[in-house]
Chains A and B, each alone.
Chain A
Amino acid sequence: MNKRFETVVEYLRQLIEDGIRDQFVRQKAVEIVNRAGVRPHDELGEIRAIVKWVQNNVIYRKDPYMVEYFMTARRILKDVEKGASAADCDDFVIVAASMLGSLGYPVGAIIVDSNKDGVFNHVMLTTKTMAPTRQYGNKWIVAELIFPNFKLNQSVPVSKVYPLIADPNTSRDPIHRQQIAGGINSLSGAPSGGMSGGYTHPLVRALNGIFRR
């Protein structure tokens, strides 16, 4: 696996983890499942409601040519509310996984080779119910989000998968507050602080400020 791919998937995982802990995202997820009339404890019903909502409301638009865009789950939901939704497969997964994670499900992204040629080029959602279900038992459920007519576990033929399971039990800074090396942080619009910048721990930033004086 090349370095760029590793970096990209790490951002993806971190954005999902941030979204899971975002109160705005949880409120939206609760609103969706309540409106869909899902009964309490109906785990598969909640998963289906969120997947359907994302499939039907988030609009697929490609990223700019040769540019990889990432958005926070909150930003994607606000774009939908404004009628300005434009997201590609990784954004679909960020928002769906964040909402399902905020409702208490283990979630993650699975990177797949949608051309069945061994080259990872597409992202799908994966999740599972806490209690075994009649349909899927304890298995991980996968969902293709960018096509509204795809049912749970239906996908284009793939030959390999690479799962990235979110772990929200992290003490790191949310990614929109981090500085990403090599340019402008597209999530916050804040300058990155130079090519060799990267993330600086708040304590280190404070010490730097003291020593600079």
Chain B
Amino acid sequence: MVWMGGSEEDDNDDGFIPVLDAAVAQSDGNLGNTDMANMRTDQSAFQHMNNPNNLQAHGLAGMPNLPSPRRSAFGHLTNKRETLFTLGLGALVGVGIKALWDFRTK
């Protein structure tokens, strides 16, 4: 820190050089007129952004998302209908091939 005050330094000095007098400095830490604490806020931007009409208008309605993680035991068949369909199709093909083999060889 560069001290530009008098030659005798205050023992309690922490390096802060006050610009305003102490009372004003304590009441308002800003040098200018920015008063962010009193700014009115809400979630209107978030709501407008996620409004279905807005998303539709800007082509954002169909943005891809990853499916939410499935919490199931390892090996558990979650897609039962699809799995059974695949197994059934496999069995039919197998039986068909066997029938064809039998027909040609026996």
Interface residues of A (CB under 8 A from B): 106, 110, 112, 124, 126, 128, 130-132, 138-142, 144, 147, 149-150, 153-161, 163, 165
Contacts and interface: CB of A to CB of B under 8 A. Distances in A.
Interface stretch (B10-18, B33-41, B75-83): B33-41
Interface majority SS (helix, strand, loop, mixed), chain B: loop
Contacts of A158: 44-45, 48
B65 A132 contact: yes
Interface majority SS (helix, strand, loop, mixed), chain A: loop
Nearest to B54: A161
Nearest to A112: B45
Interface of B: 36, 39-46, 48-50, 54-55, 58, 60, 63, 65-69
B46 A153 contact: yes
B69 A155 contact: no
A163 B58 CA distance: 7
A110 B58 CA distance: 11
A155 B41 contact: yes
B70 to A, nearest CB: 12
Contacts of A154: 41-43
Q: Which 6 A-B pairs rank lowest in CB-CB distance, beginning with the nearest?
A: A155-B45, A153-B46, A161-B48, A139-B50, A131-B66, A142-B45
